[in-house]
């Protein structure tokens, strides 16, 4: 088996596993937002695992960043932060700083600051990872643009609640919030399905047993 065949097989395995993990994460988060099932931990774990799988790849040719250091670290770091973010927030809430109104206000300010820092770090890692995927050329066009599209949609989703509070009728605010909360899950599902479709469309068949 030549190197080209090995790379194709590695990519197919990576896209299948990573895609299924993204689909799992999307369905779990959608279930949480629609109050169908408490699957938040599953969603976080599946999304984090998917990012790490896509970053490192299953085999030398599987990484969507071509294993270039900056992009690979950014995408894998985004996966780690996906799991770590809620635990860091819970830790801030659990630590506390005494009792009384002043302590509560101080804790709220600390929580907002930590949330802002985590948000900036997540966005920075996401931008680096998206650019790395585009430049690596591992994912064929136009699919390599899908992570950028998903990132733009997620940024719009974060801004929708603020827009809803100022420019739409109160009766529609709940609908806008629901849509904004569901968009991340939908983007995960879209990217997961795209990855599985790409893997299924590969000309090289993956052997049942790993050589």
CA atoms of 75 and 98, how far apart (whole Å): 38
* 174 or 152: which leads in pLDDT: 152
Per-residue confidence (pLDDT) for residue 147, from 0 to 100: 96
As a whole number of angstroms, the distance between CA 153 and CA 187 comes to 8
206 assigned to some structural domain? no
Answer yes or no: is 211 within a domain: no
Choose between 187 and 94: higher pLDDT: 187
* Entry pTM: 0.86
Which residues, at least 6 apart from 53, have a Cβ–Cβ distance to it below 8 Å?
A: 14, 17, 18, 21
**Looking at residue 171, what is its pLDDT?**
64
Whole-number average pLDDT of the chain? 85
Residue with the larger pLDDT of the pair 202 and 158: 158
Q: How many structural domains does the chain have?
A: 1
Percent of the chain with pLDDT over 70: 83
In a domain? residue 15: yes
Question: Do 11 and 65 form a contact (C-beta atoms < 8 A)?
Answer: no
Q: Is residue 155 part of a domain?
A: yes
Residue 177 predicted with pLDDT over 90:
no
Return the percentage of the chain with pLDDT > 90, whole number: 52
Asked whether residue 208 is assigned to any structural domain, the reply reads no
Give yes or no for residue 167 having a pLDDT over 70: no
pLDDT for the residue 204: 42
* pLDDT-wise least confident of 117-121, 133-137, 146-150, 162-166: 162-166
pLDDT for residue 75: 97
Please report whether residue 207 resides in a domain. no
Domain containing 19 equals 3-200
Q: Return d(Cα 94, Cα 32) in angstroms, integer.
A: 23
210 belongs to a structural domain: no
* 142 occurs within a structural domain: yes
User: What's the pLDDT band for 162 if we cut at 50, 70, 90?
Assistant: confident
């Amino acid at each position: 088996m030549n190197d080209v065949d090995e790379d194709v097989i590695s990519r197919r395995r990576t896209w299948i596993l990573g895609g299924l993990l993204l689909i799992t994460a999307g369905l779990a988060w959608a279930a949480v937002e629609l109050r169908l099932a408490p699957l938040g931990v599953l969603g976080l774990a599946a999304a984090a695992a998917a990012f790490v799988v896509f970053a490192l790849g299953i085999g030398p040719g599987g990484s969507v960043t071509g294993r270039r250091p900056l992009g690979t670290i950014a995408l894998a770091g985004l996966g780690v932060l996906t799991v770590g973010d809620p635990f860091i927030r819970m830790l801030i809430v659990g630590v506390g700083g005494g009792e009384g109104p002043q302590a509560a206000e101080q804790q709220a300010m600390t929580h907002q600051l930590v949330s802002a820092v985590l948000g900036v770090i997540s966005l920075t890692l996401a931008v680096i990872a998206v650019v790395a995927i585009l430049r690596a050329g591992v994912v064929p066009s136009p699919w390599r643009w899908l992570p950028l599209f998903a990132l733009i949609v997620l940024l719009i989703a974060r801004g929708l609640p603020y827009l809803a509070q100022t420019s739409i009728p109160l009766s529609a605010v709940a609908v806008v919030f629901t849509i904004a909360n569901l968009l991340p899950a939908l983007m995960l599902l879209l990217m997961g399905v795209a990855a599985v479709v790409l893997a299924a469309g590969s000309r090289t068949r993956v052997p049942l047993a790993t050589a």
